[in-house]
Amino acid sequence: MAIEPSSKGRPNGGAGRGLASLVRVRSLAPLVRRLWGDALTSIDEWMTASLGEEFSERLGRVPVALGQAGVDPFGLDPRWTKYALASAGILHRHYFRTEVFGAKNVPAGKVLLVGNHSGQLPIDATLLGAAMFMDVEPPRFIRAMVEKWTQTLPFVSLLFSRVGQVVGVPENALRLLEQGEALVVFPEGARGISKTFDKRYQLTDFGLGFMRLAIETGAPIVPIAIIGGEEQYISVANLDRVAKVLGMPSFPVMPQLLIPGGQLPLPTKYRIYFGEPMFFDGDPDDDDSVIEEKVWLVRATIQSMVNRGVKARQHIFW
């Protein structure tokens, strides 16, 4: 299937190893291929069992701009995305038991999904991806922008590209929207995800780039509030100096990591609210102050959705 069987037992490369090892590995190829095929079939069966028949049916209905080779111009391959979505789907349905509100608000075609970011690890993005596939009509694959340095990491860059995540440069965002994709943006960025517990559900500053993008492409902005992320990892402090030394965006202090099993995120109940789409027009190259006003509108909408969502829930875990 998508991953070559040769990705299992392979020679360490290099001319020095000689041909002998190469020939030996080659003769193993049919066996490896059969085992790999069997493994994929059983994964598929297990996927259907835990996520329902509907899962594969929805997969066929996702609007993607696939070429005749079955890959989109950015390298998205539905055969890989299927497995990524299945694991996200299991978290979504069984671990975090996400409740989705206002799924009807997501328009078909190009759209910018703008939400609050929280929880130290981007589980909110994963669940949003699962929700967009399993709860929204028509089912969609979300596209997100990733850090440039991830492209230099083996396997990570490959995986990201096959499941539709692209390098974070404005040209790519423009092109994805022109292609009619659903683009996820967390304008808070790293500031948002590394919030400490005392700042939970308070939005930090928003970047302006997403608004210029929305104006330029005429794409609607769907404001999204994600509730439940702030309690999955409780961070009591952020050691900026340590982070700087280690070259990380933040260094959260999370006491739960010391408790056995606490390394997993706490199984909070997630709630995802999709707001009504917002449309903006004007000049995408306007002054920051003009753009800022529009951004402020989106930020205020998301903040009030978050506040209502937090108020409405009875309990963090159910």
Partner 1 sequence: MTQPMPPSPVTRSSSIPPRAARTTSPETVVITGICGRLGKRLARTLHREVPVVGVDRRPFTDKPKDVEHVEIDIRRKKLKDVFRSGDIAAVVHLGVMHDPRASTADHHSWNVTGFVKLLEYVAHFQIPKLVVLSSANVYGPQPDNAQFLAEEAPLLGGQNFSEIRDLIEVDMLAQSFFWKHPETETVILRPVHILGTVRNAASNFLRLPTVPTALGFDPMVQVVHEQDVVHALHLALAPGVRGIFNLAGPEPLPLSRIIKILGRPRMPVPVTLGKLVLKRLWSLRLTNFPPPEIDHIRYVCMVDDRRARQVLGYAPRHSIEETVRAVDSEQW
142 in helix, strand or coil?
strand
Query: Going residue by residue from 196 to 215, which x/- string records binding to partner 1, judged by CB under 8 A?
Result: --------------------
Placement of tokens 């902005």 in the chain: 221
List the structure tokens of 56: 């594969």
> If binding is defined by CB under 8 A, does position 247 make contact with partner 1?
no
C-alpha dist (Å) from residue 118 to 49, 91, 224, 243, 281: 31, 17, 13, 18, 29
Min dist. Cβ of residue 171 to partner 1 (A)? 4
Nearer to partner 1, 7 or 202 (CB): 7
What CA–CA distance (Å, rounded) separates 184 from 222? 10
In this structure, are strands 252-253 and 237-238 parallel, antiparallel, or unpaired? antiparallel
CA dihedral for 25, 28, 32, 34, sign (positive or negative): positive
Where in 156-195 is the site for partner 1 (CB under 8 A)? Answer: 156-158, 161, 166-167, 169, 171-172, 175
Where in 70-109 is the site for partner 1 (CB under 8 A)? Answer: 71, 73-75, 77
Query: Going residue by residue from 135 to 154, which x/- string records binding to partner 1, judged by CB under 8 A?
Result: -------------xx-xxxx
Nearer to partner 1, 32 or 266 (CB): 32
Min dist. Cβ of residue 28 to partner 1 (A)? 13
Burial (CB < 10 A; 0-12, 13-18, 19+), residue 66, is middle
Where in 253-282 is the site for partner 1 (CB under 8 A)? Answer: none
In the complex, the residues that contact partner 1 under the rule CB under 8 A are 4, 6-7, 10-16, 22, 26, 67-69, 71, 73-75, 77, 148-149, 151-158, 161, 166-167, 169, 171-172, 175
